[in-house]
């Protein structure tokens, strides 16, 4: 086996209960490799940072980057990739041990076969709540249907990237980052490994229902402009129907002796078209908002502090 440097990036937000266990399990698996663990503390308030500092003081294969506040999982991942550019390959995974560290050797084996991106897919083993599974299935089928992408259902932010891909990622500074969409878009030779998702070791999921809905919406809007096209299509269909109804109204006016056409149908028409306009404006507003957020060009995260081994820069100069 050629010598290579492996970096494991782990975004963590209030994962104090899991960090030591994660470290223990990862260390056991990784002993045969030259590696470092890079924890991205995404503004935790539960003492995670202190634990990370202690781990880093005791083991120089532990590095950490502490963000100035909670910037969200995807931005924390980006911070991880930006700070892991000295590695030959980078694996990202959750801190809650839902992504088993024992799978890493399999990912590396695929990388050594020449794959530059090794994705993973959660096997549906019934351990996730039914509602979450259904929502995830629905989300992937919609996003694949309306965009040109083929996202893997059950895809997780647990993947291996070659250094070349990590370098490419450093050129991206878009606001509504969505790695599961971006990584397939990048191209390169990709493959997928399936794994059994484990129960969270400790603590609760940081993705509340509200966050999940907003995450899915971000995925839809940032991956395509198909909803805007759908808006045009819906508009055309409604215009066609209105036109046909207009012809019918003229027919009633000229060729029948019917009294005043009904108030109900007029009201129904107004309410329906009014509601539809609001919906379509909402879709347009979503994109407008996104454009506004992008135009501010704010950094995706702010580093407050990092361990000495970590690269200091972020948002690298191209
Ligand atoms: N996470 C983060 N910032 C956030 C939310 C989550 O860094 O704002 C981390 C979290 O600590 C975990 C990973 O992202 O390591 C995935 O989050 P979680 O396990 O809560 O998501 P789930 O597995 O339930 O989808
Ligand atoms: Mg999790």
- pLDDT for 184: 86
Whole-number Å distance, alpha carbon 149 to ligand 2 midpoint, is 25
Q: Looking at the predicted structure, is the pLDDT value of residue 1 above 60?
A: no
State the Cα angle at 110 between 63 and 118, rounded to 5°.
65
- Residues 29 and 158 occupy one common structural domain: yes
- pLDDT for 312: 52
Of the ranges 28-42, 51-65, 120-134, 174-188, which one carries the lowest mean pLDDT score?
Answer: 120-134
- pLDDT for 309: 61
Give the ligand 1 atom nearest the CA of 93: 15
Average pLDDT score over residue span 146-159: 76
Instruction: Cite the beta strand spans of 124-189 per DSSP E.
Output: 159-162
Say if CB 37 and CB 62 are below 8 A apart. yes
- Whether 49 maps to a domain, the answer reads yes
Average pLDDT score over residue span 99-116: 93
pLDDT single digits (tens) 45-69: 988 999 999 999 899 899 999 999 9
Q: Looking at the predicted structure, is the pLDDT value of residue 283 above 60?
A: yes
- Whether 312 maps to a domain, the answer reads no
- Whether 318 maps to a domain, the answer reads no
Say if CB 177 and CB 74 are below 8 A apart. yes
Task: Give the separation between CA 47 and CA 197, rounded to whole angstroms.
Answer: 26
Give the ligand 1 atom nearest the CA of 204: 20
Q: Of how many residues is the chain composed? A: 318
User: Domain with 44 in it: what CATH number?
Assistant: 3.90.550.10
- Residues 13 and 155 occupy one common structural domain: yes
Whole-number Å distance, alpha carbon 198 to ligand 2 midpoint, is 9
pLDDT single digits (tens) 209-261: 777 777 777 777 776 777 777 777 888 888 888 888 888 878 877 787 665 66
Q: How many Cβ atoms are within 10 Å of 16's Cβ, its own excluded?
A: 19
- Residues 51 and 198 occupy one common structural domain: yes
- pLDDT for 317: 39
- Whether 219 maps to a domain, the answer reads no
- Residues 141 and 282 occupy one common structural domain: no
Give the ligand 1 atom nearest the CA of 77: 7
Pocket test for ligand 1, best of 11, 154, 200, 213 (most atoms within 8 A of CB): 11
- Residues 48 and 193 occupy one common structural domain: yes
- Residues 84 and 16 occupy one common structural domain: yes
Q: Quote the pTM value.
A: 0.75
Ligand 1 binding pocket, CB closer than 6 Å? 11-13, 15, 42, 70, 72-73, 76, 94-96, 98, 205-207
Which of 6, 4, 180, 193 minimizes the C-alpha distance to 90?
Answer: 6
Q: CA of 44: how far to CAs of 7, 14, 52, 164, 203, in Å?
A: 22, 5, 11, 31, 13
- Whether 187 maps to a domain, the answer reads yes
The overall average pLDDT reported for the chain is 83
- Residues 47 and 123 occupy one common structural domain: yes
Domain total of the chain: 2
Structural domain including 113 reads 6-209+299-306
Burial 165-179 (b: 16+ CB within 10 A, else e): bbebbbeebebbbbb
DSSP at 182: H
Pocket test for ligand 1, best of 17, 96, 97, 204 (most atoms within 8 A of CB): 96
Which protein residue's CA is at the shortest distance from atom 11 of ligand 1?
12
Which protein residue's CA is at the shortest distance from atom 16 of ligand 1?
94
Instruction: Cite the beta strand spans of 145-219 per DSSP E.
Output: 159-162, 190-196
- pLDDT for 261: 64
Say if CB 48 and CB 82 are below 8 A apart. no
- Residues 70 and 163 occupy one common structural domain: yes
- pLDDT for 298: 85
Whole-number Å distance, alpha carbon 87 to ligand 2 midpoint, is 25
Pocket test for ligand 1, best of 13, 212, 215 (most atoms within 8 A of CB): 13
Which residues have C-beta under 5 Å from ligand 2, the single-atom ion? Answer: 94, 96, 98
- The complex's ipTM works out to 0.94
- Residues 174 and 238 occupy one common structural domain: no
Which protein residue's CA is at the shortest distance from atom 1 of ligand 1?
73
- pLDDT for 126: 66
Contact partners, residue 65, CB within 8 Å, separation at least 6 = 38, 39, 40, 41, 79, 80, 83, 303, 305, 306, 307, 310
pLDDT single digits (tens) 7-37: 999 999 999 989 999 999 999 999 899 999 9
- Residues 128 and 240 occupy one common structural domain: no
Whole-number Å distance, alpha carbon 94 to ligand 2 midpoint, is 6
Q: How many Cβ atoms are within 10 Å of 98's Cβ, its own excluded?
A: 21
Give the ligand 1 atom nearest the CA of 98: 23
Whole-number Å distance, alpha carbon 247 to ligand 1 midpoint, is 56
């Amino acid at each position: 086996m050629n010598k290579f440097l492996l970096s494991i990036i782990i975004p963590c937000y209030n994962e104090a209960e899991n960090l030591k266990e994660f470290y223990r399990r990862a260390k056991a698996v990784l002993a045969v490799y030259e590696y470092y663990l890079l924890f991205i503390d995404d503004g935790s308030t539960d003492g995670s940072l202190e634990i990370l500092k202690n781990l880093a003081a005791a083991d120089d294969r532990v590095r950490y980057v502490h963000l100035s506040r909670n910037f969200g999982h995807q931005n924390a991942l980006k911070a991880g990739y930006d700070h892991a550019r000295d590695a030959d390959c980078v694996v990202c995974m959750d801190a809650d041990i839902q992504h088993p560290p024992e799978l890493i050797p399999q990912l590396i084996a695929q990388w050594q076969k020449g794959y530059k991106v090794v994705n993973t897919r959660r096997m549906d083993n019934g351990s996730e709540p039914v509602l979450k599974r259904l929502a995830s299935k629905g989300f992937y089928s919609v996003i694949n249907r309306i965009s040109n992408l083929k996202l893997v259902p059950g895809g997780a932010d647990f993947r291996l990237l070659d250094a070349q891909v990590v370098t490419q990622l450093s050129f991206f500074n878009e606001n509504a980052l969505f790695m599961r969409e971006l990584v397939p878009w990048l191209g390169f030779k990709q493959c997928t490994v399936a794994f059994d998702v484990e129960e969270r070791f400790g603590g609760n999921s940081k993705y509340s229902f509200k966050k999940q809905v907003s995450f899915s919406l971000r995925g839809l809007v940032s991956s395509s402009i198909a909803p805007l096209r759908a808006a045009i299509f819906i508009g055309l269909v409604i215009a066609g129907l209105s036109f046909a109804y207009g012809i019918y109204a003229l027919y009633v006016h000229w060729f029948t002796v019917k009294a005043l056409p009904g108030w109900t149908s007029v009201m129904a028409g107004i309410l329906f078209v009014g509601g539809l306009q609001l919906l379509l404006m909402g879709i347009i507003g979503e994109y407008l908002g996104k454009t506004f957020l992008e135009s501010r060009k704010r950094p995706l995260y702010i580093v407050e502090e990092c361990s000495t081994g970590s690269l200091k820069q972020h948002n690298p100069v191209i």
